[in-house]
Amino acid sequence: MEPCPRNRGAGNLPLDKTNVVSGAMTKFGKLEDVTLREMFAEAVDKATLGAGIPKKDIQAAFIGTFIPEMFIHQGHTAPLLLDFAGLKGISGTRHEAACASGATALRAGIMAIESGLYDTVLVAGAEKMTSVSTLLATEALAAAADDEFEASIGLTFPGVFGIATVAHMRKYCTTEEDMARVAVKAHKNASTNPLAQFQKEITLEKAMKPIYVAWPLKLFDCSPISDGAAAIVLTSNEKAKEYTDLPVKIIGTGQASDSMNLSGRSELTSFQSSVAASKQAYKMAGLEPKDMDFAVVHDCFTIAEIIASEDIGFFKPGEGVKAVNEGITALDGDKPINPMGGLKAVGHPVGATGVKQAYVVYKELLGEAGPNQVVNHDVGLMHNFGGTGATCVVNIMRRADA
C-alpha cells in the first residue's frame, strides 16, 4: 500500500470539513449584575448576528459549563441558555470536563460537522463564578479533583500545581523568578486586550511578592476567579462561503485523559494527557510543532504554561523556562504563547475558557488581533486542560488561504 503522503490521522480521518466562520467573547472579570444567561446571550449575539449569521441558521449547539450547580444553583444549562439567547428548539447539549469543558464542547461541534450531521453549529462556553464567595468558589473548583482521595486530605487546586512545580524545580532547576516572568508576560499581553480582566502590566518585583497560596506558588502565579462567555460558529465548507471569504479551518484535534489522582501518575513534570492529545492533533493535521506559528495554552498557573509549552513539543522537557527568559514566547518572539494574555491575566471563567482560546486563535490567524497580533499567523494551536490535567484537548487551526 502507498504510504499516505500527508500522514493524516489514525483511522484515515483527516479533518477537512470544519470551518470557524465567526467568534466572540464577552469581557472577562467580575461582571457585576450580569447573570450567566445574559453573558451567554451577549457572546452568542456577537458571534451570530454580529457576524451576519442569522440565528435560524444554527442547527445545534454544544455548550461548555463547568459547575453552575454550585455557582448559581442551576443544572441543565444548555436549553436554559439557548432559550434566553433566542435559540429555543434546537439540539443543545452541555459538556463538562472541568476547565476543559469548552474545548470538549468544541470537539463535539467538530464531530457534528465532520460527520455531515449538521452544517452550521454553535459552540459556546460560559461560567458565572463571582456570584459566590471566594471560599465557595474554591470549594466548587476543588470538585474538579478526586474528592475521595485527594481533596479529602486538604489538597487544593493550587496545591496540585505546587506539587508539579516542586518536581519541575528540582528536576530542571526552574525558579520562582522564572515563573514570575510568565506572569509578567501575561499581564503585558493583556494590557492591550480590552476584554481582559487585568489590563495593567506588573513588574517582576510585584509578581514575586511572597503571598504564598501553595508553596512555591504565589498569588501572581494563579489565574483569577472570573465571569465570562465566549462563542464561535462552525460550518461545513459549502456553508462557510455564505458567511465569509476567509474562514479558519480546524485541521487537527486530539483529546486524552489521565488519572485524576496525582499518585496515579508516574511523571509529575509533564502532563501525559497533554502529550497524547497534542500528538493526536499533530498527526491528524500532518504537521509538527515546528510548523506552528504560535500557541494558546492552558496557563491556569504560571508553571502550567511552562509545562504545556514542553508537552506540546514547542520546547524540550525542561527548556520551557529558557524560552520564557529569552523572550521566545513573548508576543514578538519566535513562538508566541498566549499573545492575548492567557487565563492568568485575561481571566478564567472555567466553562468559557476553551471556547475563548479557539476565539483567540481564530482572531490571531485572521490577523485581527490588533496590538496583540502575532507576526506569523498561518497555523496556530490551542491547548485546554481540565482540572489537574485529567482531561486535555488540543486543536490545530489554519487560515483557509494559508
Partner 1 sequence: MSEKPTIEAYKKNIQEENFKAYKCTNCGAVINPPSGSCYNCGGNVMEWATVSGKGTLISFTIITIAPEEFQKEAPYYIGIVELEEGTRVTARLKGFDVENPAGVELNIPVLLDYEHGESGNTYLAFRPE
Known catalytic residues are 99, 348
- What DSSP string runs through 37-53? HHHHHHHHHHHTGGGT-
Given a contact cutoff of 8 angstroms between Cβ atoms, the answer to whether 104 and 393 are in contact is yes
CB of 155 to partner 1, least distance (A): 5
Q: Which of 34, 70, 111, 163 binds partner 1 (CB under 8 A)?
A: 163
The DSSP secondary-structure symbol of 315 reads S
| Shortest Å distance, C-beta 211 to partner 1 | 9
Q: Which stretch binds partner 1 (CB under 8 A): 72-80, 132-140, 363-371, 378-386?
A: 132-140
Q: Smallest distance, Å, CB 166 to partner 1?
A: 5
Query: How does DSSP assign 143-196, residue by residue?
Result: TTS-TTTTGGGT--HHHHHHHHHHHHHHHH---HHHHHHHHHHHHHHHTT-TTS
Interface stretch with partner 1, choices 91-99, 124-132, 157-165, 243-251 (CB under 8 A)? 157-165
Q: Does 152 bind partner 1 (CB under 8 A)?
A: yes
Residues 259-288, interacting with partner 1 (CB under 8 A): 261-265, 268
Contact with partner 1 (CB under 8 A) among 6, 170, 241, 322: 170
Which segment (151-159, 270-278, 365-373, 379-387) binds partner 1 by CB under 8 A? 151-159
Pairing outcome for strands 91-95 and 60-64 = parallel
179 binds partner 1 (CB under 8 A): no
What residues contact residue 297 under an 8 Å CB cut-off, 6+ apart? Answer: 304, 305, 308, 309, 312, 337, 338, 342, 382, 383
E strand spans, 140-187: none
Which of 14, 50, 216, 289 forms a contact with partner 1 (CB under 8 A)?
Answer: 216
Q: Does 155 bind partner 1 (CB under 8 A)?
A: yes
Q: Is 224 in the site for partner 1 (CB under 8 A)?
A: no
Nearer to partner 1, 95 or 218 (CB): 218
User: Residue 216, preceding bond cis, omega within 30 degrees?
Assistant: yes
Residue 215, interface with partner 1 (CB under 8 A)?
yes
CB atoms inside a 10 Å sphere around CB 83: 14
Could you say whether residue 98 binds partner 1 (CB under 8 A)? no
257 lies in the binding site for partner 1 (CB under 8 A): no
CA distances from residue 52 to 112, 241, 270 in whole angstroms, order as listed? 22, 12, 43
CB 340 within 8 A of CB 346: yes
Distance CA(376)–CA(399), nearest Å, equals 11
Question: Which ranges in 233-370 belong to alpha helices (H)?
Answer: 237-243, 272-285, 302-311, 320-325, 342-346, 350-366
Neighbours of 318 (CB within 10 A): 16
CB of 40 to partner 1, least distance (A): 29
* Residue 84 engages partner 1 in binding (rule: CB under 8 A): no
The least distance separating partner 1 from the CB of residue 268, rounded to whole angstroms, comes to 5
List the one residue from 59, 156, 192, 272 that touches partner 1 (CB under 8 A).
156
Pick 257 or 373: Cβ nearer partner 1: 257
CB of 149 to partner 1, least distance (A): 4
* List of residues contacting partner 1 (CB under 8 A): 135, 138-139, 142, 146, 148-156, 158-159, 162-167, 170, 212-217, 261-265, 268
